[in-house]
Structure 1
Amino acid sequence: MDDRDYEIIMLLAETKNITHAAQRLYMSQSTLSKRIKLMEKELGQTIMLRSRQGVHFTPAGEILITHAKSITQHIRTLKQELALDNGTVHGTLRLGVSINFAHFFLARTLQALKIHYPRITPHIKTNQSRYIYHALWHHQIDAAIVRGEFADWSGQRLHLFSEKICLIYSEKKDIDFRSAPYISRQTDLHMENSVLQWLRENNLSINTLNTGITVDGIQTVVSMVEAGLGWAIVPEICLSHFKGSVMPLNFTNGQPLIRNTYLLYTMDMLALPQLHAFVQFLTHHKGDLYV
């Protein structure tokens, strides 16, 4: 087996789908299938089963995945360290980023990073924070920028910024929060629990609110509120151009509702010089980038 075989195994472990893996590898499904058969012949084991539901790895295949992760990481670390030239940091930075962070802050972050480290090549994956966190756990990315709390994370955590959680509604008309539509969206458990606590403390209940509107996307929420279609509770990150009323929320004890954004990574991955440089860059410049 060679480097390409290990890349194939890692992609199949991620996608669980022959078609999707073949597309990302820029090869035909038949070529990929032949490559898998050659691997199985070399190993003397069936490593995966195929069905209409996708790829299912056998116990032998699961062992192969574990070793493929280790081998590809060692090869990648070797190549990145060899790429260092006269103290200049080279290499690809595999970074997972929350969708909302990507929308509002990613461009300025990468622009500033390019000035300081022009030979770092960012490879960005964007998704909701919980999926980015999952990708970090499964070593699909080098580091993750996530929003919200992940209490089970045992690695390194760099706090980037905090923001207020606000109640918003249109200035076009007065609003009765009990009867007007509450525009909600899917979010993480910590944010959801904070909102529910604030509602309870203010004699409001999610069960008695007019909750007929649920959307996927924070910008959609803001647009609907601006149009006078209801009210919502959102983080401050999306309100720089909002035209309406904004009320930062506090619990009854005076503590503000806030949402934190973090860079998550592990000490092991700091062996990658480009990640080490990125961590140092954010440590020193986060106050300028995220104000």
Structure 2
Amino acid sequence: MNIRDLQYIIAVAETRHFGKAAERSFVSQPTLSGQIKKLEEHLGVAIFERTNRSVEVTPIGEVILQHARQIMEQVDAIEQVAQAHHDPLAGPLRLGAIPTISPYLMPLILMPLKQDYPQLRLVLSEEVTDTLTRRLQQHEIDAALLATPVEEPELETMPLFDEPFWLAHPRDHAFYNKEHITREDLETTELLLLAEGHCLAKQTMEVCRLKERSTRGEMADLRAASLETLLQLVGAGFGSTLVPALAMRGSWATGSGIVTRELEFPDAYRRVSLVYRASFPRIEALHTLARVIHDHLPNTVTPIDAVGVRG
């Protein structure tokens, strides 16, 4: 067994295809297939279940792959330790972010990060919370920007900032003539929500004290896949919704026919954190990223210092 064998089985597990895994590994398919077969014979177990149509990981294969990913992270850590001797911030940092953060925060920090730390290269991916958490656990990314707490014991959390929610509604909405929006107003109105899987939908329901999604009424079947689509529905007069403060900088905020106002509830916010594996060896790179984020946050959010105190 060698490192190359582990790289091969990880490639097959991630692509679910021997040919694609061989291309990714820069070897021929017979070479890759032969090495994996030798590894399975050496271990006395089948890592993959092969059919004419698919490649699936066996239960014992999942356990082996978990160890393989941990080993490859340590191999990468060895290389990074050597690299850090010359430059502790050098190399790629694989960062994930949820879709309701990434489009609004990344434009604020990418250029400053590139200018101040040109040797640190962000590799970005945008996915929902559950997917990012799973990818963190499987060592596919190094850290993730999330807006919900994580309970997995192998993951650590670095709080960054608290982000208030704003109410967005059409100009002809009943809310337009109300000087103050109460929680009772939100509890009794129909709200547009993102589709299942987006943490913002759950957070909106929590702020509005909604126990479950509406299954009746005009809004019951409207489930947007992105915040931008949701806001287009608001602008078209289909209803109201809650918007995180960073998204208020989006292009939709002007000339869209949408009225916005900050909610005046003490708990109408979400906490955005940088989540990472406790075993991740490049903590200094994460602290650097956190500092850049803090330095370029707009005044619509409340930064949190290193010990979790709101600034």
Shift of 1:112: 2.2
Pick from 195, 199, 207 the counterpart of residue 186 of structure 1. Answer: 195
Q: Percent identity?
A: 22
What letter matches 1:174 in structure 2? H
Shift of 1:21: 3.5
> Is 1:206 matched with 2:205?
no
Instruction: Find the aligned partners of 2:209 and 2:83 in 1 and give their Cα distance.
Output: 56
Say how many residue pairs are matched.
Answer: 281
Shift of 1:222: 1.0
Instruction: Find the aligned partners of 1:267 and 1:67 in 2 and give their Cα distance.
Output: 16
> Is 1:55 matched with 2:64?
no
Shift of 1:257: 1.2
Greater mean alpha carbon deviation, residues 10-19 or residues 230-239: 10-19
Partner of 1:232: 241
Return 5+ residue gaps in structure 2 as ranges. 176-185, 299-311
Is the Cα–Cα contact under 8 Å of residues 17 and 55 in structure 1 kept in the other structure? no
Pick from 268, 274, 277 the counterpart of residue 266 of structure 1. Answer: 277
Shift of 1:151: 4.2
Question: Secondary structure of 1:83's partner?
Answer: helix
Instruction: Find the aligned partners of 2:213 and 2:287 in 1 and give their Cα distance.
Output: 44
Instruction: Find the aligned partners of 2:207 and 2:22 in 1 and give their Cα distance.
Output: 48
Partner of 2:173: 174
Pick from 256, 264, 285 the counterpart of residue 278 of structure 1. Answer: 285
> Is 1:246 matched with 2:260?
yes
Calculate the TM-score normalised by the size of structure 1.
0.79
> CA 1:178–1:30 in 2, change beyond 3 Å: closer, same or farther?
same
Is the Cα–Cα contact under 8 Å of residues 97 and 145 in structure 1 kept in the other structure? yes
Partner of 2:230: 221
Question: Secondary structure of 2:237's partner?
Answer: coil
Shift of 1:43: 4.2
Is the Cα–Cα contact under 8 Å of residues 154 and 278 in structure 2 kept in the other structure? no
> CA 1:168–1:76 in 2, change beyond 3 Å: closer, same or farther?
same
> CA 1:63–1:180 in 2, change beyond 3 Å: closer, same or farther?
closer
Return 5+ residue gaps in structure 1 as ranges. none
> CA 1:87–1:197 in 2, change beyond 3 Å: closer, same or farther?
closer
Instruction: Find the aligned partners of 1:181 and 1:19 in 2 and give their Cα distance.
Output: 50
Instruction: Find the aligned partners of 2:85 and 2:152 in 1 and give their Cα distance.
Output: 38
Is the Cα–Cα contact under 8 Å of residues 199 and 206 in structure 1 kept in the other structure? no
Is the Cα–Cα contact under 8 Å of residues 12 and 21 in structure 1 kept in the other structure? yes
What letter matches 1:247 in structure 2? R
Is the Cα–Cα contact under 8 Å of residues 163 and 236 in structure 1 kept in the other structure? yes
What letter matches 1:228 in structure 2? G
What letter matches 1:185 in structure 2? L
What letter matches 1:225 in structure 2? V
Question: Secondary structure of 2:68's partner?
Answer: helix
Shift of 1:118: 1.8
Instruction: Find the aligned partners of 2:156 and 2:206 in 1 and give their Cα distance.
Output: 29
Cα RMSD (Å) of the superposition?
A: 3.4
Instruction: Find the aligned partners of 1:247 and 1:259 in 2 and give their Cα distance.
Output: 16
Shift of 1:150: 2.5
- Give runs of aligned pairs for residues 3-82 of structure 1, distance below 5 A: 3-18=3-18, 21-22=21-22, 24-25=24-25, 32-51=32-51, 52-57=53-58, 59=60, 61-82=61-82
Instruction: Find the aligned partners of 1:146 and 1:12 in 2 and give their Cα distance.
Output: 28
Calculate the TM-score normalised by the size of structure 2.
0.75
Is the Cα–Cα contact under 8 Å of residues 128 and 199 in structure 2 kept in the other structure? no
Is the Cα–Cα contact under 8 Å of residues 96 and 125 in structure 2 kept in the other structure? yes
What letter matches 1:227 in structure 2? A
1:90-116 Cα offsets, whole Å, 9 max, x none, are: 222222222232212224323222233
Partner of 1:144: 144
